[in-house]
Amino acid sequence: MQLSEPVHVVYRLGSAPRIGAIVLAEQAIDTYLDGYGRPDDRATALDILLRDLARLRFLEPAFDGFIAEVESYIDQLHRDLLHRAA
C-alpha cells in the first residue's frame, strides 16, 4: 500500500510521540500542498491525505488520537478553501 509523504510523517511521529509532533505534521501537510496551486487540486490532495490517514488508522489503531488531530487540521484547510472560493 502506497501512502502519501505527509502520512509517512504522521506514522513516524505517531510511533514516537513528542512535544510539537502536531506542528511537524502540519508543516509536512503544508509542504505537500505547496505542490498544488489550483484550489480544486488542493482539495483533491487533501482528500487523498484523509484517505491515507484512514488507512493508517486501520493499520495503527494506537495512533487514533494523533490522527484525529491531523484530520482536524486537514478539515480546517478544506474549510479555508471553501471560504476563499466563496
Mean pLDDT across 44-64? 93
| Residue 84's pLDDT band (cuts 50, 70, 90) | confident
Dihedral (Cα; 50, 70, 9, 44), 10-degree rounding? 30
Mean pLDDT across 59-74? 93
**pLDDT at residue number 15:** 79
Residue 10 has pLDDT above 90, yes or no: no
Residue 1 has pLDDT above 60, yes or no: no
